[in-house]
A and B are shown apart, each in its own frame.
Chain A
């Protein structure tokens, strides 16, 4: 049996890169979050937890946090449900799977900045694709980017369009690994597709589900381009997420200290969310993670 101690050596190259490249900026950002630091003046004053206190009493922080939860929650759920449905469909399909698989993955490979622009041309009022087609049939659809509810919906759809393919690919592959004998015996007992999916496949895929949900939650919280390009947080503040606020603080106001504090708060919130996710899905058998 090999020694446990030698195993640490395997972490050295990766650990070195992470320490050299990431830990310093990350540590520096955390350090800055305790300062009042306006980039323009170039000098900073220590304010302790002042930035955090200011943010936690800031109505804009809470409202953007709420909207982020709403948008991320809807987007990730939609992606998961849609991804699972399509993956299960592909699993059941006996022909054309490979082609569909490739085509379905395409939206995921577009550069995010550009993907948002593509969607803008589809959702834009009047001369966008959807409006253009519907209005020429004299149907006046809702204002996709201009009414609060629909703008949020569009933001969710934009995220789903780009990231459902990721879910499909991973979940489809996962479904293929589920033990066939179990499925066959269930089929003998007369179980339908729904029962097989929910009773046999999903429990078997729990680790994978945690993986995709956690990764997507983390990324959706951070992602910025599609909302920035599509609605820029509007109409009003309907789609103003926490990254948009971070962007405004760090790049528009150059208030790097407060921006960093917001970044740290985001990190804590997402970490808590992911921990909760792991806890809920694994319930008591926590050791399985």
Chain B
């Protein structure tokens, strides 16, 4: 085709014909993008891949197109589509933090009526009340929960046993242990501070676990108080024994550090626990154990699917799709990949016995803490992570960095109508 391009150009008629042809053919509406296919956008990790597959199979006569991609890309697409009120997305993945801004902006359809209607059929009252409550905003339910996730404290049982140590129960012990176990070839701990999401998760644990808080009751930032400064100082001291390149490490890099025996311990998501025992991925099969994080207050998160307020599809159809994918049978099947938000599955002793990390995970859920219920937290997280990292890398004093982050946070919140 290309070699003829130059020749085509020589003859005006043929060139015009080519242009017209190309233009005509390209603007044909592409047939498969028919109005009847349901469009779903989601973050991607193994459990969500599983649920996406179940959505595609949910209703025999409804085609569901699922697009799964990394979290930041999925959020970009969803934000662009929703903010322009486009009907290009029908079902959207959201987590316990991101759904708040979508709900606040009026981009989501409340699900209360459908939830009542289909309660029996899909056994919806089996969902834990905390999972449902997570996804309520202003008294309305917006998301059908599919997963619960929390950070666990991963540690090398073999190495700690050898050194006669037990896993830390508070930050001071953690710091001391990381320093003691640190060696040139194996870092004392992992730390995953890549901005924004990975870093923010870890900071959440330090700030809250060491007695601080992100905001007071009036949503004024208070993370720059004494407890906050101590927390970030602690983070700085612990990262002194973290793996190389921790400022650009996200969950994948940290997971590999543990799997490849180049780090001793650290915080990572429960959804990563099973991969530690997978011989295709891990060099430390059976050597990792888990406990609830020292001092608790680590992030507890939940993922689920919501319906776009701008969808032209029948909401009942859409609801049935996400209710089917999150039914008990499916959750049971996904339970090795992710913690299920259904009581019947979560508390099933059989599953708890089959998954080595379940006891630690359940204990962690008890003492964990969700992100602040502030729709803008996803956004102000950007300032906060940036400033905290400036403090960790020595670009700024901790106090000054946190003060700056607090001022920026307050300014943004003020511009969004807070404090009036």
Chain A interface residues toward B at CB < 8 A: 13, 36, 38-42, 124-127, 131, 135, 140, 143-146, 148, 151, 230-238, 240, 248, 251-254
Contact = CB atoms under 8 A, between A and B. Distances in A.
B244 A235 contact: no
16 contacts: A38-B416, A39-B83, A40-B101, A42-B105, A125-B243, A125-B244, A145-B245, A146-B245, A232-B195, A236-B247, A236-B390, A236-B393, A237-B389, A240-B386, A251-B75, A252-B382
Interface stretch (B6-14, B254-262, B354-362): B254-262
Given A38-B416, A124-B253, A145-B245, 7 more contacts: A40-B104, A41-B416, A126-B187, A126-B262, A251-B75, A251-B76, A251-B79
A148 B393 contact: yes
B40 interface: no
A235 B253 contact: no
B184 interface: yes
Contacts of A236: 247, 389-390, 392-395
B246 interface: yes
A131 B244 contact: yes
A144 B244 CA distance: 9
Given A124-B253, A237-B386, A252-B379, A40 B248 contact: no
User: Which of A39, A125, A135, A145 counts the most chain B CB atoms within 10 A?
Assistant: A125
Interface string B376-420: 001100100010011011110000000000000000100110000
Given A252-B379, A254-B79, A232 B184 contact: no
A127 B392 contact: no
Interface residues of B, number: 40
Nearest to A131: B244
Given A143-B244, A234-B247, A127 B104 contact: no
Given A146-B247, A236-B392, A127 B79 contact: no
Nearest to A143: B244
A230 B248 contact: yes
User: Which of A140, A144, A237 counts the most chain B CB atoms within 10 A?
Assistant: A237
A38 B257 CA distance: 39
A234 B244 contact: no
B415 to A, nearest CB: 8
A137 B195 CA distance: 32
A38 to B, nearest CB: 7
Given A42-B83, A127-B257, A145-B247, A233 B105 contact: no
Contacts of B253: 124
Contacts of A237: 386, 389-390, 395
B284 interface: no
A42 B104 CA distance: 12
B412 A235 contact: no
Contacts of B101: 40
A253 B382 contact: yes
B393 A124 contact: no
B257 A252 contact: no
B194 interface: yes
B185 interface: yes
A254 B83 contact: yes
Given A39-B83, A40-B101, A235-B393, A126 B244 contact: yes
B240 interface: no
Interface residues of A, dominant DSSP: loop
B393 A126 contact: no
Contacts of B256: 127
Contact of A234 (B184, B248, B257, B415): B248
B105 A41 contact: yes
A234 B194 contact: yes
A230 B248 CA distance: 7
Interface string B230-257: 0000000000000111111000010011
A253 B72 CA distance: 12
Interface string B204-246: 0000000000000000000000000000000000000001111
Interface string B293-306: 00000000000000
Contacts of B382: 248, 252-253
A125 B389 CA distance: 18
User: Which of B101, B247, B248, B386 counts the most chain A CB atoms within 10 A?
Assistant: B248
Contacts of B19: 13
User: Which of B187, B196, B389 counts the most chain A CB atoms within 10 A?
Assistant: B389
Given A140-B184, A236-B390, A252 B196 contact: yes
Given A140-B184, A143-B245, A146-B246, A253 B195 contact: no
B19 to A, nearest CB: 8
Q: Kindly list the 5 A-B residue pairs having the minimum CB-CB distance in the complex, ordered from nearest.
A: A125-B244, A125-B245, A236-B393, A235-B247, A145-B245
A232 B256 CA distance: 19
Contacts of A42: 83, 105
A252 to B, nearest CB: 5
B34 to A, nearest CB: 26
A13 B12 CA distance: 13
Contacts of A39: 79, 83
Contact of A253 (B184, B187, B392, B412): B412
A63 B392 CA distance: 18
A144 B249 CA distance: 12
B82 to A, nearest CB: 9
A146 B83 contact: no
B248 A232 contact: yes
A248 B415 CA distance: 17
B194 A40 contact: no
A15 to B, nearest CB: 15
A235 B79 contact: no
A53 B195 CA distance: 27
B83 A144 contact: no
A240 B390 CA distance: 11
Interface in B95-129: 101, 104-105
A10 to B, nearest CB: 12
User: Which of A230, A232, A240 counts the most chain B CB atoms within 10 A?
Assistant: A232
Contacts of B245: 124-126, 143-146
B181 to A, nearest CB: 15
Nearest to B253: A124
Contacts of B257: 126-127
User: Which of B83, B184, B394 counts the most chain A CB atoms within 10 A?
Assistant: B83
A148 B253 CA distance: 19
A57 to B, nearest CB: 13
